[in-house]
Structures are given as C-alpha cells and as structure tokens.
C-alpha cells in the first residue's frame, strides 16, 4: 500500500566516532632545539622552531591530521609526553636532540607506547662526530629522516599519514 507516497528519508546522525576524527600525531623536540635559527645556521639552517612548527601544521592539515608540536629541554618531560601519547595520539614524530644518543629512558617510553615512531634530525648525524652516529631512538623507530632540515618534519608527516591510515 501507499502507492505514490514517498518515504521520508531518515537521517541517521551519529556522534563523531574515533574513526571519523582527525588522527593526532605528537611532534616532540628535545633539548636546545628552541635555539634553532639563532646560532649554527651552517648546521641547522636559518629557520626557527616556530617556522618548522607552522610548516608542519600546514602539511598536517593537508594530510587530514592534527599535530601537537612541543619542545622541552627536560628528559623527564619528553618521557611524560611520550606516555601521554599512548592515549592521545596515533603516532610520534621525535627529534630527541642530544638525548637521541644517550637516553635509554626515552627508548623505553617509546617501546612501551607501541605507537609508530618516526625519528627526525635536521642535520645528517652520520656526517658529524661519531658519538652522534648511534641513536637509541632508532631502536624504536619505523624510520629515520635526517639531513634535510625542517623539511624532514614534513616528510615524516607524509610517512606517518600512511602508517596511521
């Protein structure tokens, strides 16, 4: 029955589910990276960390990701952020600065997070002093990008978008 009567379309509207929401990536920066753009431009370039952050945010938006971009000079604070990422983020992009070469604590936190990790360095650590050739972070990283300056963060986001898709 009902012949020509049109059925009223029912709009099924559900509240946003985690899978509909943009995925968040933590972009964490370690000691002295707040000095970027002020000294040693021949090694680290002329961009400030704020310039790097703005470009990373723009790339993340193109990729449909949100980022939380942070810097700390304190190992414990970086470890707390990595622990926070377990519940708040889908992946971690990390330039641990000098802690890269020293911190088993950061390695343990990354491994405990079970999140995809991409390690970034502005400089090519393999063209520098031998103590920079070893990275604890690499043991927990899916991949490493180094030597490409601030652009490395954008490449890391491109890769992370695929890893968390």
Contact characters 103-132, ligand CA2, x per CB under 6 A: ------------------xxx-x------x
Measured from the CB atom, the residue of 55 and 66 that comes closer to ligand CA2 is: 55
Q: How far is the CB of 95 from ligand CA2 (least distance, A)?
A: 5
Cα 158 to Cα 2, 51, 59, 100, 102: the distances in Å are: 54, 18, 8, 22, 28
Sign for the CA dihedral angle at 96, 101, 103, 104 comes to positive
Catalytic annotation present for 153: no
Closest CA to 147 of 162, 133, 164, 161: 133
Q: Which stretch binds ligand CA2 (CB under 6 A): 57-65, 78-86, 95-103, 104-112?
A: 95-103
Q: How far is the CB of 96 from ligand CA2 (least distance, A)?
A: 7
Query: How many C-beta neighbours within 10 Å does residue 114 have?
Result: 9
Footprint on this chain of ligand CA2 (rule: CB under 6 A): 32-33, 35-36, 38-40, 44, 95, 97-98, 100, 121-123, 125, 132
């Amino acid at each position: 029955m009902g012949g020509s009567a049109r059925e009223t379309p029912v709009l099924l509207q559900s509240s946003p589910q985690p899978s509909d929401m943009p995925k968040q990536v933590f972009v964490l920066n370690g000691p002295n990276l707040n000095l970027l753009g002020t000294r040693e431009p021949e090694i680290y370039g002329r961009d400030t960390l704020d310039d790097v952050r703005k470009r990373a945010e723009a790339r993340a938006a193109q990729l449909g990701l949100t980022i939380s971009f942070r810097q700390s000079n304190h190992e414990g604070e970086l470890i707390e952020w990595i622990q926070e990422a377990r519940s708040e983020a889908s992946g971690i992009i990390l330039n641990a600065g000098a802690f890269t070469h020293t911190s088993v604590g950061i390695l343990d936190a990354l491994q405990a997070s079970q999140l995809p990790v991409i390690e970034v360095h502005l400089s090519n650590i393999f063209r520098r002093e031998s103590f920079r050739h070893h990275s604890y972070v690499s043991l927990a990283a899916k991949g490493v990008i180094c030597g490409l300056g601030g652009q490395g963060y954008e490449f890391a986001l491109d890769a992370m978008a695929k890893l968390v898709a």
